[in-house]
Structure 1
Amino acid sequence: MNGETQEMAQQKPALWTKQFVTLTLASFLLFLNLQMLLSTFSMHIKGNLSGEDIHVSLATSMFAVTAIIARLMTGRWIKRWSKDQVLTVGLLIAAASTALASLPSTIMPLLLIRALYGIGFGIGSTVIPTLVSQIIPPKRMGEGIGYFGLSTSLAMSIGPATGMLVMKEFGFTTLATLGAGAVICMFPMLYISGTYLRSRKNKGTQQMPEALAKVEEETANQQEQSSKRSIWRFSNYFPAMLNALLSITYSGLLSFIAVYGEELRLPQVGLFFLFNALTILLVRPIAGKIFDRRGPILVLIPSAIFVTASMLVLSYTTNMGMLIVSALLYGIGFGSIQPTLQAWMLRSASKEEYGDVNGMFYNSTDVGVSIGAILLGVIVTFTSYDMMYRLSSIFMIIFLLAIVWYVWKRKKS
């Protein structure tokens, strides 16, 4: 009996380590900070600064562009300094720029602060997932990324609703302070858990968690090997492209659902994100396990149909019942697609490539959000919010056609 237990333990290595839990919670706080403010900028810009829809789009795209640049540079910075030093600087920038966001009384300074925030967020959202992906057992990559991804998805769902509620009740200044506090809470949590790694340049007598110590030892030896192999392979950029298409639809929710709810006279439009969160909680771990056993296609096709249906229902919404149905459909689709695409990319990568691959994945999210903010903002300017959501479903149809093409290409080869 003991032999069978030991064999099962070997077959299923530990996932829920102290470092995994801590990094997952830290990721939640970082994305909670992002989502609380990102979803309310449309209300702040149009209500407090007398801005227009194009200014809302610019605030979203400015942040996304600098986040992409920061992610591209983070790999180089990690080579020069330790991960904990780079992460500390990134989190400090994110906290400071969040706290300053309520000060500008005109659009231009706010855009500059959002650009600065993108740098801090880009660093944090690259280093943390890289550390996580390096301590997840390879045999449980889909499951591990699925659970870790809950931090992002829950923040994407709870954050907007929380942000809207806080802003309506207490104002944007309180919201910015709360967002900065979420980032500051990450420092003691990461330090106490032992997740923070001290620089190897310091005197080397201190102890560090075994899994992360091994990562730090291997990194220096693997940097040279990883540079010889390009990450721009089909197995990486094809899932990243699909993620960008999905992120375009999410950009429309972040940028415009608050003002869309005001136009429809739905005072509790933030409930969209709450019901979205509930379905994500249910489907994300299940999607990860299906991926580990059956691969990505069985997850992606039905999930893309759910997102398409959600956009169409949202575009015809006239009451809270239809809004909730749209939220549930979107949660099922979005909560299944994102971890599947990320695990797909990581499964085909070597361990030393995890940092670059995670950077590519999150950059594809920001590319989609940036393109969506600008493109959907233009559509809104010339049509309406309901037409904009209707047309955004086209991107998921393209998503489905790309998957069908991939299946056909694989069978043919």
Structure 2
Amino acid sequence: MKQTSIWTKDFFTISFINFIIYLVYYLLIVIIAEYSMTEIGASPSQAGLASGIFIIGALIARMLTGIKINQYGEKKVLLIGLIIYSFMGLGYFFAHHIFTLLIVRFIHGFGFGIASVATGTMVAKIIPANKRGEGIGFYTLSTTLASAVGPLLGIFLIHRYSFNHLIGLAVSVLLLALIATLVTKFSLPTKHSSETPQTKKHHFFEKKVLLISFIGACMGIAYSSIVSFISPYTADINLSKAGSLFFIVYSLAILCSRPIAGYIMDRYNENIIMIPSFLLFSLGLYVFSAASSAIAIFVAAAFIGIGFGTFFSSSQTIAIKSVSEERIGLATSTFLAIMDIGVGVGPFVLGGLVTMTGYRNIYLLMAFLILVILAFYLIFNKKILNK
């Protein structure tokens, strides 16, 4: 009998595994820059690279995994990714020099990239075709939940326990995901792609979504300033406690705004959501740059959550609407891969600027960058929307 329900054992298992994959990512991303500077003696630029090189490893892995996943099977690829992701975590125990830490971060990100592509592919295949939008919506809540719990847990633990305790927790939960994958028999289609390496190598990117992807990369750079430097910045302005709650408010804002934004966008047009998302993200960064109280941190978190959160889902929708149905997968991978470049390069570039400008001016600069990108979006609006 054909499966018609979203709520299956496979769906819950894959969502649980995806939650852990992203939990570990967010657990480490908010504290790795501060750890690099305080414990290893890295410069702000090196600390930014230590943060961003993880995403670069993930980006390379995602591009390669997209080609190989149908050849080897989703579960096998997921196991490979989780093995790398889990056991490379042990490398942090021995990373006492910035060069060693960079190697560990890159390979750790590579494992993350493999595993996250595998879970995304698996869940798309087990959700009934007529409920795919609804199913993917619920599935991505696992990522949103991880983005709330991970930073909160990371900042809480790093100020009360050692970095090694935090790494021990990360490796332990990844081993749970690995065990869950090993013991679960997923009901997945066994059809494999008939494309040859010759045809595949020319299909890494979808040209129609390059402009919106470029905008996504710029927004990713701005967002990376938050995830990479929130811990040292809030410590510098004596608001560490408020900073530890930032991503809770941020995630609640996303959970409340995304369904409304999607409803409005479907019934009206893209610009009615996209333009406010730029403005709110920029406003949030401005408030964050000038923060002197916990209230200001929370207000900034809400604006950034609504702004960046609605931008991400809406711009991905624009990318999907720009292509024919058979190219939706390629459009999605193009958008996410290019956005990853922004998130990965951002910490390194901004880390170099921090020494010259300070944290407050970095966030002010990012607020201005968003307004420049908004102008770019309006100038090339018809081309971006393929109208």
Q: Could you state the TM-score of these two structures normalised by the residue count of structure 2?
A: 0.88
CA contact (8 A) 2:26 2:151 kept: yes
Find out whether 1:76 has 2:67 as its counterpart: yes
Measured at CA, do residues 104 and 286 of structure 1 come closer, stay the same or move farther in structure 2, by a change above 3 Å? same
Partner residue, 1:266:
239
One-letter amino acid matched to 1:174? H
CA contact (8 A) 1:306 1:330 kept: yes
Deviation at 1:285, TM superposition (A): 3.2
Find out whether 1:88 has 2:88 as its counterpart: no
CA contact (8 A) 2:149 2:248 kept: yes
Partner residue, 2:117:
126
Counterparts of 1:372 and 1:411, CA distance in 2: 26
Of 203, 214, 238, the match for 1:241: 214
5+ residue gaps, structure 1: 1-12, 196-208
CA contact (8 A) 1:86 1:123 kept: yes
Deviation at 1:363, TM superposition (A): 1.9
Find out whether 1:253 has 2:226 as its counterpart: yes
Q: SS in structure 1 opposite 2:193?
A: helix
Partner residue, 1:338:
312
Partner residue, 1:3:
none
Partner residue, 2:163:
172
Counterparts of 1:116 and 1:280, CA distance in 2: 30
Identity %: 29
Partner residue, 2:34:
43
Deviation at 1:26, TM superposition (A): 2.1
Deviation at 1:230, TM superposition (A): 4.3
Partner residue, 2:154:
163
Partner residue, 2:294:
320
Counterparts of 2:145 and 2:317, CA distance in 1: 18
Deviation at 1:326, TM superposition (A): 0.3
Q: SS in structure 2 opposite 1:169?
A: coil
5+ residue gaps, structure 2: none
CA displacement 1:82-128 (0-9 Å, x = unmatched): 22112111111111122321322221111111111121011112222
Find out whether 1:151 has 2:151 as its counterpart: no
Measured at CA, do residues 151 and 286 of structure 1 come closer, stay the same or move farther in structure 2, by a change above 3 Å? farther
CA contact (8 A) 1:133 1:354 kept: no
Counterparts of 1:412 and 1:166, CA distance in 2: 47
Q: SS in structure 2 opposite 1:185?
A: helix
Counterparts of 2:53 and 2:155, CA distance in 1: 21
CA contact (8 A) 1:248 1:395 kept: no
Partner residue, 2:249:
275
Q: SS in structure 1 opposite 2:159?
A: helix
Deviation at 1:288, TM superposition (A): 3.7
Counterparts of 1:314 and 1:259, CA distance in 2: 14
CA displacement 1:353-395 (0-9 Å, x = unmatched): 5554443233223211122112211221111100000001133
Measured at CA, do residues 302 and 138 of structure 1 come closer, stay the same or move farther in structure 2, by a change above 3 Å? farther
Measured at CA, do residues 351 and 100 of structure 1 come closer, stay the same or move farther in structure 2, by a change above 3 Å? farther
Measured at CA, do residues 393 and 158 of structure 1 come closer, stay the same or move farther in structure 2, by a change above 3 Å? same
CA contact (8 A) 1:32 1:182 kept: no
CA displacement 1:306-335 (0-9 Å, x = unmatched): 111100000100111101100111111222
CA displacement 1:257-285 (0-9 Å, x = unmatched): 11111110113111111211221222233
CA contact (8 A) 1:141 1:343 kept: no
Partner residue, 1:361:
335
Measured at CA, do residues 349 and 407 of structure 1 come closer, stay the same or move farther in structure 2, by a change above 3 Å? closer
Deviates more, 1:327-336 or 1:360-369: 360-369
Counterparts of 2:136 and 2:322, CA distance in 1: 14
Counterparts of 1:34 and 1:256, CA distance in 2: 15
One-letter amino acid matched to 1:303? S
CA contact (8 A) 1:226 1:353 kept: no
Deviation at 1:46, TM superposition (A): 1.5
Deviation at 1:139, TM superposition (A): 6.0
Partner residue, 2:370:
396
One-letter amino acid matched to 1:127? A
Partner residue, 2:105:
114
CA contact (8 A) 1:146 1:340 kept: no
Partner residue, 1:58:
49
Counterparts of 1:37 and 1:347, CA distance in 2: 34
One-letter amino acid matched to 1:260? Y
Q: RMSD in angstroms over aligned alpha carbons?
A: 2.8
CA contact (8 A) 1:303 1:336 kept: yes
Deviation at 1:30, TM superposition (A): 0.7
Find out whether 1:33 has 2:43 as its counterpart: no
Deviation at 1:80, TM superposition (A): 3.8
Deviates more, 1:168-177 or 1:59-68: 59-68
Deviation at 1:338, TM superposition (A): 1.7
Counterparts of 2:353 and 2:150, CA distance in 1: 26
CA contact (8 A) 1:160 1:273 kept: yes
Partner residue, 1:199:
none
CA contact (8 A) 2:206 2:331 kept: no
Deviates more, 1:135-144 or 1:160-169: 135-144
